[in-house]
Amino acid sequence: MKYGGGAYLAVCTLFAYYYHMTQRVSHSLEETAQIAHEWLEAVSKAPATGATVVGLSGHLGAGKTAFTKCIAQELGITEDVTSPTFVIMKIYPVDLSKGFPWKKLVHIDAYRLEQGRELAAIDFEKYAADACNLILIEWPENVKEMVEGIEAYKEIKFSVGEKDTERVVGF
Ligand SMILES: Nc1ncnc2c1ncn2[C@@H]1O[C@H](COP(=O)(O)OP(=O)(O)O)[C@@H](O)[C@H]1O
Ligand SMILES: [Mg+2]
């Protein structure tokens, strides 16, 4: 790599500052869980007319699925959350006693998709219209024609930090 990890992190931090993004560095899965907790608290207070649709972008191993697992835990989902790379979409019922505004967590992995319209085959638009859904999409760049049209679409950017156990989360 041409630049060291420190320089890369500095560039990312400047970028985040410029675009009013929050950038957090996690040094462990526990810290990632804490970041997921805080993000969820904030986003659950933002009213949405349809589903809350969030793209998780970043390279393989950057922590998109790990973050999704943390979100699932916060939502009281006890089922094991694994990457839906082959089935594309998995839906988990949220524990309503946790007090979040959603009834379902919809986890989509668009890694194997090439165009947004391929999401039509899994009824994406129906799920996206329903305010009871929190939809997390890995590899959103593969389906950007579909997600960009969503009014309150958000993105979280993941990258590997300087150490093996370091992950940078930007939102
Ligand atoms: N601080 C950290 N936060 C999240 N994951 C971490 C962290 N440190 C190491 N990891 C590991 O990084 C890997 C991330 O993999 P995964 O979430 O499947 O990536 P992706 O879905 O982006 O391809 C996991 O094996 C996880 O245990
Ligand atoms: Mg993944």
Total-model pTM: 0.91
What residues does ligand 1 touch, defined as CB less than 6 Å away? Answer: 26-29, 31-32, 58, 60-66, 138, 158, 165, 167
Determine whether domain 7-161 maps to CATH 1.10.10.10: no
What pLDDT score does 155 carry? 96
Phi/psi-derived region of residue 76, left when phi > 0, alpha when psi is between -120 and 50, beta in every other case: left
Distance 78 CA to ligand 1 centre (A): 19
**Domain extent listing, the chain:** 7-161
Distance 55 CA to ligand 2 centre (A): 12
> Minimal CA–CA distance to 133: which of 158, 152, 114?
152
> Minimal CA–CA distance to 103: which of 92, 111, 115?
92
Instruction: Print burial letters for 12-42: b (CB count within 10 Å at least 16), e (below 16).
Output: beeebeeeeeebbbbeeeebbbebbeebbee
Q: What is the pLDDT along the chain (171 residues), one digit of tens a residue?
A: 555 778 888 887 777 777 778 899 999 999 999 999 999 999 999 888 999 999 999 999 999 999 999 999 999 999 999 999 888 999 999 999 999 999 999 999 999 999 999 999 999 999 999 999 999 999 999 999 999 889 889 999 999 999 999 999 999
Strand 167-170 relative to strand 89-93, pairing: unpaired
- Mutating to test ligand 1, I would choose from 107, 167, 168, 169 the residue with most ligand atoms within 8 A of its C-beta, which is 167
Q: Which residues pair with 156 in a beta bridge?
A: 56
